[in-house]
Structure 1
Amino acid sequence: MLGTHDLALFVVSGLLLNITPGADSLYIATRSMAQGVRAGVAAAIGISLGCYVHIFAAALGLSAVLATSAAAFTVVKLAGAAYLMYVGLSLLRTRPALARPLSTVAVAPLRTILAQGFLTNVLNPKVALFFLAFVPQFIEPSASNKPLAFVFLGVIFNLNGTLWCLFLAWATARAGSIGLGRHATAWLSRSVGAVFVFLGVRLALTKQG
């Protein structure tokens, strides 16, 4: 279909990759538990929009540039690392006084959460390189329009990933509604903040290739 092959295998593989815990899942879970399902949905939509940037950029060859240009990879990598550490440090500053019942905490406006999810995803060059490495395996070598086939597969992958992220937002919001104490909520935010700082440092130390 549209110059692709083994579509069922692609869907199954994509779903398995989507449910693997990572920075995106962690961000959605944190926002959902702290502010409720709407915040988790906003984070999921932001991450989904960020993935579309990578999909279309990869289809147009930008990901190939990231894979071959050390300078481009370094710029995007350091920008992404800085942003992850900024988000992490912000969470580390959470105080118990802000930790009211998880479903009512207003840590950030929904538009800010969406933008953070978007930027956290877009500024991670490993996402671009993932699409470049994974998607082409399911494109027919003889496909007449490889960019279109790439976008087709990328959209399928991202739609499935978005459905998973929305479920994750709902599930973690429900868990948060059970009610962790004010201090427990603050420590949860701090713990996740520390993980984000770690992810930022690790991303900054990532080598190309």
Structure 2
Amino acid sequence: MTSLAAFVLASLILVAVPGPNLIYIITRSVRDGRRAGIVSALGVETGTLLHVIAAVCGLATLIEGHPLAFAVLRYTGAGYLAYLGIHALRRRPPHAADANNSAKAVGRSPRRRLLRLYLDGVLVNLLNPKVALFFLAFLPQFLSTGLTPTETRTHMLLLGAVFLTVALTLDLCYALVGAALTGRLHGAPRRDRGLTRLTGGIYLGLAALVFV
């Protein structure tokens, strides 16, 4: 029980530290509203689930042992973030859309748009090999000694489920906080343009972190 409590506390601290996932979710919430933020959070944590499964199956070890595979995944992730940034910068603020564009937006399937946001969240997290290596190093720290391979995998999955629960809870809180700021940041043309530029700049900045 003490070990589990320590793991939960460590997970809370790690998730609370600002990083690409947190920035991505808040940015989506502020830019597109509460539902978009929640869906983005679900996408990000789906990526976390896949990373946990990869760590348990040893795929993260394979990536770590093959620098070329690590580099390809790393730069693919950076390229995707850069794409999101450019797309955001080219996006017209809501007030600038004419009646024809507004009609098209109304006719567009909300489910399709939410699916796109969800998949964006999955890819932002999944295309970050640092997350895979993090789980490979983090989860074993809280495993008991003397476990069989099957018991080790089972315990890692349970710890991953706990981490996922903690992360999803906090991410949903971030989404709600970001959505609460939406009304204050939207409404004026200058604010909308500034928010659009800020969103694109954040994505490009996250992409640039790969080279730091």
Q: Do the structures match in fold with TM over 0.5?
A: yes
CA distance in 2, matches of 1:99, 1:128: 41
Asked if 1:140 is matched to 2:134, the reply is no
Residues 71-118 of structure 1 deviation map (CA, whole Å, 9 limit, x = unaligned): 110111121111111111111223345579xxxx99981111100000
**TM-score (normalizing by structure 2):** 0.85
CA distance in 2 between counterparts of 1:174 and 1:159 reads 23
User: Which of 109, 113, 116 is equivalent to 1:112?
Assistant: 116
Aligned length, in residue pairs: 198
Equivalent position amino acid for 2:155 in 1: A
1:106-155 per-residue CA deviation (whole Å, 9 max, x = no partner) reads 99811111000000100110110111111110011212211111111111
Task: Output the CA distance in 1 between the equivalents of 2:92 and 2:194.
Answer: 8
Match of 2:54 among 37, 54, 57: 57
Residue 192 (structure 2) aligned to one of 185, 197, 205: 185
Which AA in structure 2 matches 1:126? K
Conservation of the 8 A alpha-carbon contact between 1:91 and 1:192: yes
The structure whose Rg is larger is 2
Task: Say whether residues 1:26 and 2:32 are aligned partners.
Answer: no
Q: What does residue range 154-169 of structure 1 map to in structure 2 within 5 Å?
A: 154-169=160-175
Could you tell me which amino acid in structure 2 is paired with residue 67 of structure 1?
E
For structure 1, the residue ranges without an aligned partner over 5 or more in a row are: none
Structure with greater helix percent: 2
**1: CA distance between counterparts of 2:94 and 2:43?**
28
TM-score, with length taken from structure 1? 0.87
1:152 aligned onto 2:158: yes
2:91 counterpart letter in structure 1: T
Identity in percent: 35
